[in-house]
A and B are shown apart, each in its own frame.
Chain A
C-alpha cells in the first residue's frame, strides 16, 4: 500500500511539473537560509564553549569595560590565593617572519606561560607545559606553520623576524575551532616583549592596554577576588588612577563584549529571521498542498468507494507531503554544501564548515524539520479532505470553496507583510547609506589622494630619505596643491583615547581621542578653523601645542580657547590650545562627532609615527602624479606593495558593515519575495484550474480577457493590498528604531513606504496576471466541457 502511495505521490508531482518546481524550489531556497541561519546561531551559542575551564575563566576589566594594566597578572599570581593560573594577551607588533625563502607577516600575540593552561588550545606539535616558558620560543597556528613549513614538524626550527629577533618554534597549535573568539596566529612569551626597547616603559600601573585572563581555583569566589583587586588599586596603581575599579567578567561574555559580534543581538535577530522564513515556507507548503489536494477530491472519493478508510486517505496525503518536503530538504541540503564557501566569504566573525552539515545534531534537526513540515503541509489537506462527505467527494464538491478559506488568506497576507517589511528595510538602509556617503563631512573628501607610508621597509633610513626626496619632487608638480603626513586619516583614526583636564581647572575632565598630525594635515583636508591657528613648523613652542575640535571645547565648558591649556590627567605638563577646528567628521556619520585633540608630530616629512601621505589634488589631474609615485616607491625595498586611495574611498570603507548588512537584507528580501510569489503563482494557477468552468461560462456570456484576468487576480491583489497596509506602519516603526542608532539619519518619507508597497503589488500583479491571462485565453468550449 505504501508503495502505491509513493508511486501516486511521485506521479502527481511529475504531472504538475511547473507547480512542483515552484513549490520545491521555493521551499529549498527558504530552507537553505534557515539551515545557514541555524548554523550561525548554533555557532554563536557554542561560542568559546570548547574551553574546558570556561566556568572558572575570567577576564579582569577596569572601569567596566577597559582593559587592564600590564603588571597586574604577576601581582595576582603572586598574592591572590584563589587564582590558579593566568595569562595576559596583547598585540604589540606585526613583524615579518622568515624561514629560508618564505616570508609571512603576522601580528604577534604576546602571552604568558599559563596560556595553554588557562585556555584549551591543543597543540599539534610541542608540549603545552613549556611551549611559552622560554623567552625566545614561538608557537604558531597551523595556518602559519603550513605557510612557512608545509606539512613538516617545525618544532626546533629558528624563525628570523624583520626586526632581527630570532625565535625558536616550540609548538604548533591544532586548527582552532571555528567558534573560538581568540584566534592567535603566533604566540610569543611576554618576556620577549618585556625586553623590547620600545615597550620597556609602557608596562606601568597606569596604562590599560592588556587583556588579563585568570583561571580561578574551583569554588573560588569572584567577590573575594574583586575585593582583593580593590587593594591592588589602592597600593599599586599610579597617581591619577587610584579611583579605578577592577572587576571580573566571565569569559563566556568575552565574545559579546569584545568580539566582532554582539552575540545576544545576533542570536535573537537571526533566530527571528530564520523563524520568519520557516513560517513563510510552511505557509506556502500548506497553501500549495491544500490547493493541489482540493483538485483531487474526486480521487479521494474513488479511493473511499474502493475501500480506503479515513486513515488510508490521511496516510496518502502525509506520504505525498513527506515526499515533497523530503525532496525540498534534500535539495536544500545539497545546495548548502555548494553555497557554504560563498556565504563564508560574506560572514565576518563566524566560520561555517561543511562538516557541520553532516553533524549529528544538524541531521537530527533537519529530520525533525522534515517531519514537522510534513505534518504541517500534509496535515491540513489530509484532515480536510478525509472528512469530506463521500457522496460530495464523488461529485468533486467541496463543503466550502477553497478560495474563501480564511486561513489561506491570512497566510498569504502574512507572507506579503514579511516581503514588504524586507523591501522597505532594504530601501531605507540604502537611502541611509547614500545619505551618509554623500553627507557633508566638513572636510575635503573629494580631492585628497592618500598613500600608505607604513610599508615595512627593508631599510628604514634609506626609505625615509627616498620618500622625503619624492615629496620634494611632488611639490614641483603644479597640480599638487598641498602635502601632509599624518598618523591617521578621516575614517581611520585610531581608538586612542586619553583623559585631559584643563590646566586651570583640574576638577573637570574629558576623555578625548588623540592623534598626531603635521602642519599640512588640516589645510590639505580643508578643515576650517573657528579660532586660533594651525601648527607652524617655524615655532618651536608648537611642539607642545594642541588643536581641539568644537565638541571638545563645548564639553570642556569653554566659550573660547584663548589662553587655555590642557594636561593629561595625572600629568604635569600643560599643552597650550592654539587652534579650534570646526567639528569635521573624522569618523562615519553613523555616530556624532566626539571630542578630538591633535598633537603636533613634526613638519611634513616621513617619520615612523606617520602612516599616511596626503596629497591635495584634483582626481582628474592625479594620473601622472600617481605614476611618478608608483615608480618612486617601487625603487624602495619593502615588504608591502605601494597602494593609494582617495580620501572618500577610505572614508566610505567605514560603511562596509552596513553595506554587507544591506547585501544580507537584499538576499532575504529576494528570498521572501520569491517564496511569497511562488505561493500566489501556484495558487492563482490552481484557482484558474478550479474555476475553469466558471471562466468558460463567463466567456460564453461575453466576458472579455481583461475582466477574466481581473476576476482571477482581484482576490489575490486585494490580499496583497491588505498586506501592504499592515506592513507599512510595521516597517516604519522597525526602520525608525534602526535609524535611532545613527547620529545623522534620514526621515522615512511616505513615498518610500508607498514605493515598497507598489513594488510588491506590481510583482504580485505580474505573477498573478500571467497565470490569469493564460486561463483567460483558454477556449471556452473546452472549459465548459470540463464538467
Chain B
C-alpha cells in the first residue's frame, strides 16, 4: 500500500538546517498495523505527516497505492487524501464550535455526501464508538477519552483505507488509553491499515510491526507477528 525510497526531509531556517528524515526506506502492506517509535525529535511525526500527505518530502520517493506522490501539489495531495486517509491526533483537534455530531460529519461534508446518507453514517459510527448519547455536546463538555473517541469516529466515518494516529493515547489516562487502543485494533481487524506513532511500548504492542527511528533513520524493525496479506 505504501512504499518509501530514500525519503528525506530537511527543515531550514536562515541559519540552521536540520535533517528530520534521512533516507527512510519502508513498506507498509494493506491491512497492516505498524507502530513507529523513537525518542523525541527523531522524525516520527514528520514521517507521519509525509505518509499522510500533509507535507512533501525534500527528496526521495513515496508511493501511495503504487502512485508516486512525493512531488504532488497541495491541491493534488488534498484530493488524494480526501476519503482515503483518516487522522487521529494526540490533542484530538476537534473543532470547538461544532458539536460531536457536526465534527464527525465534517469529512462527509467535504466529500459532498448527501445529507440523509451523512446522518446515517455519522449515527452509525457514533453508535459504534459508544458516544451516541453525546452527539449534541460540544468537545469541551467531554472527557479526554470521549474526545478521542469522537476524533476516531471522525477519522473512520468516511471509511478510509488507512488511519494515521499520532500518539493517540498521549493525552489520556491508562483506562481511556486502553479503550482507544482497542478501538484502533478493532478497526484494523476490520481491514483498515493502521500507522501509529507512539512512545508507549504497551500501545506499540497492539501493532504487527514496530519501526524504530533514531535521528531520522530507521534503526530497527521488530516484527511481533508475521502479517499476511
Interface positions of A (Cβ within 8 A of B): 1, 4, 7-8, 11-12, 15, 298-299, 301-310, 312, 389-391, 394
Q: Is the Cβ of A308 less than 8 Å from the Cβ of B110?
A: yes
Contacts of A305 in B (CB 8 A): 52, 54, 81, 87, 93
Tell me which of B75, B89, B107 contacts A309 (CB under 8 A).
B75
Given contacts A8-B95, A8-B97, contact A306 B78 (CB under 8 A): no
Q: How far is the CB of B80 from chain A (nearest CB, A)?
A: 11
Contacts of A4 in B (CB 8 A): 102, 106, 109
Q: How far is the CB of A168 from chain B (nearest CB, A)?
A: 74
Q: Which B-chain residue is minimally distant from A307 (CB atoms)?
A: B110
Q: Is the Cβ of A1 less than 8 Å from the Cβ of B55?
A: no
Q: Is the Cβ of A306 less than 8 Å from the Cβ of B75?
A: no
Q: Which A-chain residue is minimally distant from B81 (CB atoms)?
A: A307
Q: Is the Cβ of B95 less than 8 Å from the Cβ of A307?
A: no
With A305-B93, A312-B110 given, name 13 new contacts (CB 8 A): A8-B97, A11-B98, A299-B97, A301-B93, A302-B94, A302-B95, A303-B95, A305-B52, A305-B54, A305-B81, A305-B87, A306-B107, A307-B78
Q: How far is the CB of A5 from chain B (nearest CB, A)?
A: 10
Q: Is the Cβ of A304 less than 8 Å from the Cβ of B78?
A: yes
B19 within 8 A of A: no
Tell me which of A12, A301, A303, A390 contacts B106 (CB under 8 A).
A303
Interface of A is mostly: helix
Interface positions of B (Cβ within 8 A of A): 49, 52, 54-55, 74-75, 78, 81-83, 87, 89, 93-98, 102, 106-107, 109-111, 154
Tell me which of A1, A299, A304 contacts B95 (CB under 8 A).
A299
Given contacts A15-B97, A391-B49, contact A307 B74 (CB under 8 A): no
Q: Is the Cβ of A306 less than 8 Å from the Cβ of B49?
A: no
Given contacts A8-B98, A307-B82, contact A394 B93 (CB under 8 A): yes
In Å, the complex CA distance between A280 and B125 comes to 49
In Å, the complex CA distance between A389 and B56 comes to 11
A sample of 5 inter-chain contacts (CB < 8 A) reads A299-B97, A304-B78, A305-B93, A306-B110, A310-B75
Q: Is the Cβ of B95 less than 8 Å from the Cβ of A390?
A: no
In Å, the complex CA distance between A403 and B224 comes to 51
Q: Is the Cβ of B97 less than 8 Å from the Cβ of A309?
A: no
Contacts of B83 in A (CB 8 A): 307
In Å, the complex CA distance between A301 and B87 comes to 12
Q: Which of A301, A306, A391 has the most CB of B within 10 A?
A: A306
In Å, the complex CA distance between A411 and B107 comes to 38
In Å, the complex CA distance between A652 and B81 comes to 78
Q: How far is the CB of B227 from chain A (nearest CB, A)?
A: 27
Interface pairs A-B: 7 shortest CB-CB: A307-B110, A307-B82, A11-B97, A306-B107, A391-B55, A306-B106, A302-B93
Q: How far is the CB of A230 from chain B (nearest CB, A)?
A: 79
Q: How far is the CB of B6 from chain A (nearest CB, A)?
A: 21
Tell me which of B78, B81, B97 contacts A12 (CB under 8 A).
B97
In Å, the complex CA distance between A643 and B89 comes to 84
In Å, the complex CA distance between A391 and B166 comes to 13
Contacts of A308 in B (CB 8 A): 110
Contacts of A11 in B (CB 8 A): 97-98
Contacts of B54 in A (CB 8 A): 305, 390-391, 394
Q: Which B-chain residue is minimally distant from A12 (CB atoms)?
A: B97
Q: Which of B102, B109, B111 has the most CB of A within 10 A?
A: B109
Q: How far is the CB of B101 from chain A (nearest CB, A)?
A: 12
Contacts of A299 in B (CB 8 A): 95-97
Contacts of B111 in A (CB 8 A): 307
Q: How far is the CB of B162 from chain A (nearest CB, A)?
A: 14
In Å, the complex CA distance between A15 and B94 comes to 16
Q: How far is the CB of B42 from chain A (nearest CB, A)?
A: 17
In Å, the complex CA distance between A173 and B229 comes to 96
Q: Which A-chain residue is minimally distant from B78 (CB atoms)?
A: A309
Q: Is the Cβ of A390 less than 8 Å from the Cβ of B55?
A: yes
Contacts of B109 in A (CB 8 A): 1, 4
In Å, the complex CA distance between A305 and B93 comes to 10
Q: Is the Cβ of B107 less than 8 Å from the Cβ of A307?
A: yes
In Å, the complex CA distance between A508 and B109 comes to 91
Contacts of B154 in A (CB 8 A): 306
In Å, the complex CA distance between A391 and B111 comes to 21
Contacts of A12 in B (CB 8 A): 97
In Å, the complex CA distance between A312 and B106 comes to 12
Contacts of B81 in A (CB 8 A): 305, 307
In Å, the complex CA distance between A619 and B74 comes to 85
Given contacts A1-B109, A12-B97, A302-B95, contact A390 B87 (CB under 8 A): no
Contacts of B55 in A (CB 8 A): 389-391
In Å, the complex CA distance between A394 and B154 comes to 16
Contacts of A391 in B (CB 8 A): 49, 54-55
Q: Which of B54, B75, B82, B111 has the most CB of A within 10 A?
A: B54
Q: How far is the CB of B145 from chain A (nearest CB, A)?
A: 19
